[in-house]
C-alpha cells in the first residue's frame, strides 16, 4: 500500500481535526462492514479498525493540542 501525503494550506487545523474526528465517528457507526473493507484494503497485515481510529485520534490531537480525551480512551463529553 502506498502512503499518501496530503498537504493543504487552505484548511485550518481545527477543521482538519474536525474532519478526522468525523471519520473516526463514522468508522464506529458501521464498524463491521468498514472493518471488513479495511481488512481487504490492507490485506490483513495487522492494521485494523482500532489501529486506524487510534491513528486518526492521535493526528487530531497533534493538530489541536486538545485534552486528548479521545486519544486516551474516552469519548467527547463522557467520563474516562
The string of pLDDT tens digits covering residues 54-75 is 888 888 888 877 655 655 555 5
Unique residue bearing C-alpha cell 474516552: 74
Q: Is residue 26 part of a domain?
A: yes
Q: What is the DSSP string of 7-71?
A: --SSS-HHHHHHHHHHHHHHHHHTHHHHHHHHHHHHTTSS--HHHHHHHHHHHHHHHH----TTT
Q: Which of 5, 27, 61, 31 is CA-nearest to residue 76?
A: 61
Write down the pLDDT at residue 5.
47
Q: Is residue 4 part of a domain?
A: no
Would you state the cell numbers that stand for residue 72, as one nine-digit string? 486516551
Write down the pLDDT at residue 68.
55
Q: Is residue 41 part of a domain?
A: yes
Q: Is residue 24 part of a domain?
A: yes
The string of pLDDT tens digits covering residues 9-62 is 556 777 888 888 888 888 889 888 998 899 989 887 788 998 998 888 888 888
The total of structural domains in the chain comes to 1
Domain with 38 in it: 13-63
Amino acid at each position: 500500500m502506498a502512503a499518501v501525503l496530503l498537504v493543504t494550506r487552505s484548511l485550518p487545523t481545527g477543521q482538519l481535526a474536525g474532519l478526522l474526528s468525523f471519520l473516526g465517528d463514522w468508522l464506529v457507526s458501521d464498524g463491521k462492514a468498514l472493518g471488513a473493507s479495511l481488512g481487504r484494503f490492507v490485506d490483513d497485515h495487522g492494521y485494523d479498525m482500532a489501529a486506524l481510529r487510534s491513528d486518526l485520534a492521535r493526528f487530531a490531537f497533534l493538530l489541536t493540542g486538545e485534552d486528548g480525551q479521545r486519544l486516551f480512551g474516552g469519548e467527547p463529553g463522557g467520563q474516562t
